[in-house]
Amino acid sequence: MKNTPEVMNHLYQNLGKLFFAVAAADKKINDREIESLKKHVTNYWMDLENTKDHFGSDAAYQIEIVFDWLIDEMPEAEEALDDFESFRKNHDSLFTPQVKDMIWKTCDDIASSFNGKNKSELVMLSRIAKILGR
């Protein structure tokens, strides 16, 4: 995956928005959803490539930073998903089959992390599947 550090940072920031949208689909975010996200960032997203953020940290941490910021702000989940969808449309080359699979796995695990998937999360996952072309 060859892209500028700026574009890669924006990818991770928009992934933070996407994963927030999944967690916030039912208008509440549980600690297990947050733990699931952090596990995925550490175990998968940090290994994707080597971009650093403005502070010299792995840019994948932007996922957590944006996710945490959105928890504090609590916008509508749909708004965060719309932002991700717009980014996806403008940066199609970033969304390789590997990245799409990682996105789907992360979304699915977040949605399943607390008592399985509820109706709101299933609707959100359905929309994400369309956005990813699944």
- Per the rule left: phi > 0, alpha: psi between -120 and 50, beta: everything else, 75 is beta
Whole-number Cα distances in Å, 127 to 9, 19, 21, 131: 24, 13, 11, 6
> What confidence category does residue 115 fall into, taking pLDDT thresholds of 50, 70 and 90?
confident
* pLDDT tier at 1, thresholds 50, 70, 90: very low
pTM over 0.85: yes
Handedness of CA 119, 125, 131, 134 (dihedral sign): negative
Q: What percent of the chain has pLDDT over 70?
A: 99
Residue 24's pLDDT band (cuts 50, 70, 90): very high
Instruction: Determine the 3-state secondary structure of 4 from DSSP.
Output: coil
Full set of structural domains in the chain with CATH: 5-132 (1.10.3680)
pLDDT digits (tens, 9 = 90+) for 46-73: 999 999 988 899 999 999 999 999 999 9
pLDDT average, residue stretch 28-37? 96
